A = this chain, B = another copy of it.
Amino acid sequence: MEKLRSGYLFPEISMRREAHQKKYPDAKVISLGIGDTTEPIPSIITSAMSEYALGLSTPEGYQGYGPEQGQKSLRKAIAEKVYPNMGIRDTEVFISDGAQCDIARLQMLFGRDVTIAVQDPTFPGYVDSGVIMGQTGGADESSGGRYSRIEYMRCAPENAFFPDLATVPRTDVIFFCSPNNPTGHAASREQLRQLVDFARGNGSIVVFDSAYASYVSADGDKPRSIYEVPGAREVAIEISSFSKFAGFTGVRLGWAVVPDELLYADGTRVARDFDRVVCTSFNGASSVAQVGGLACLATEEGREAVRRVVGKYKENTRVLVDTFRALGKEVYGGDDSPYVWVRFPGQRSWEVFAEILEKTHVITVPGSGFGPGGEGFIRVSAFNSRERVVEACARLTSFLA
């Protein structure tokens, strides 16, 4: 535990926000920081949860423990609606209380002795949970806080946000987030094919985090799931979430797919062990949340309602991208994700974060919080109302122009 550097990124930002608000009590702070949804949940979904919750006070409606792996109907809806024609069976879908929790459970499954690789930059949860599990050595502050025993795969504009796998050493596990948080880059079909082949050749497990898959634009040829790539069932676990898909950040619901063909070197099924971890260290996602998840997926009306909300955030990213482009900034992401990734050459991320906060009362996220490769960037989130995004952009324009 003592190896874990400083606070976890978002609590740290939250503390700085509080300090700022204390310093400027009248300032209208706008958060384009933590990826927290702001749009109300479509009422077709909340009505289902509301009705279910009320029913819990009746003998007919009451339900106690559900299956640890989740309700059959929800597992089936995910297999059919999220993974059409990808051969995913409902029994391979494990319902969870969110992708972050699944990362921790996967780390419990992998244990202390595995080696892991992560994109650099990427969501800090993969590394931090690995540090807590004892998979790493100490952090080297002189290299931007890299932990020893973790393979950092640099993903930058210079390499189309994808590592040259010929130079990446083998690890037991590869965490791969696409569309990537924070860069917003969605890996191309060819990139994912390379990743799957690399993992197959090395006998590695890919943990593919598709929490932002619903933001992938329909007009590119970018897979929303790794299971669109042949051979992925033999190497990849996919984790995903209703958080950014349906505004369930507070309701808490996600899932992991562990295909039957994913085997250990001795031929036993990884899914069998994951099932044991789930049954031992988890007791299923809240039944109310599961009913809400089913309402998102079960009808065309639910699916359309969710698509509309995602569409709103995608319009926000357009505003953000246009703003930073007009300011002459190098801007990435946005097309396939709710995150915009902006470079500030020659500056440190935390400096940029602090300067923007001080001058515009806008919260962003310092790119270096996602790994040393994020230094010099900030992440700007589209999760806010149109009005506030527009207001934030006006302030940023005055300040940065």
Contacts and interface: CB of A to CB of B under 8 A. Distances in A.
A50 interface: yes
Name, among A10, A53, A55, A112, the residue most crowded by chain B CB atoms within 10 Å (CB to CB).
A53
Contact of A65 (B34, B47, B64): B34
Interface in A170-214: none
B283 A98 contact: yes
Contacts of A109: 1, 132
A357 interface: no
Contacts of A56: 40-41, 46, 49, 247, 250-251
A280 to B, nearest CB: 5
A308 interface: no
A311 B107 CA distance: 41
A249 interface: yes
Interface in A270-313: 273, 276-277, 279-289, 292
Nearest to A252: B286
B43 A57 contact: yes
Given A65-B34, A101-B281, A104-B282, A46 B53 contact: yes
A29 interface: no
A45 interface: yes
Contacts of A280: 4, 8, 100, 104, 125, 128-129, 132
Interface string A85-113: 00000000000011011011101110110
Contacts of A230: none
A36 interface: yes
A37 interface: yes
A61 interface: yes
A54 interface: yes
A346 interface: no
A356 interface: no
Contacts of A358: none
A39 interface: yes
Given A133-B108, A276-B8, A286 B283 contact: no
Given A8-B276, A53-B50, A97-B97, A63 B250 contact: yes
B250 A287 contact: yes
Contact of A251 (B47, B104, B286): B286
A18 interface: no
Contacts of A132: 108-109, 276-277, 280-281
A42 interface: yes
A38 interface: yes
A284 to B, nearest CB: 7
B133 A251 contact: no
A319 to B, nearest CB: 19
Contacts of A4: 276, 280
A144 interface: no
Name, among A66, A105, A132, A281, the residue most crowded by chain B CB atoms within 10 Å (CB to CB).
A281
A330 interface: no
A61 B39 CA distance: 10
Nearest to A291: B53
Nearest to A280: B128
A11 interface: yes
A247 B129 CA distance: 32
Contacts of A351: none
Contacts of A112: 111-112, 134
26 contacts: A1-B277, A4-B276, A10-B279, A38-B62, A40-B57, A42-B57, A43-B54, A46-B53, A46-B57, A49-B53, A63-B250, A64-B250, A97-B252, A97-B286, A100-B280, A100-B282, A101-B283, A104-B108, A104-B281, A104-B282, A111-B133, A112-B112, A128-B280, A251-B286, A252-B285, A286-B286
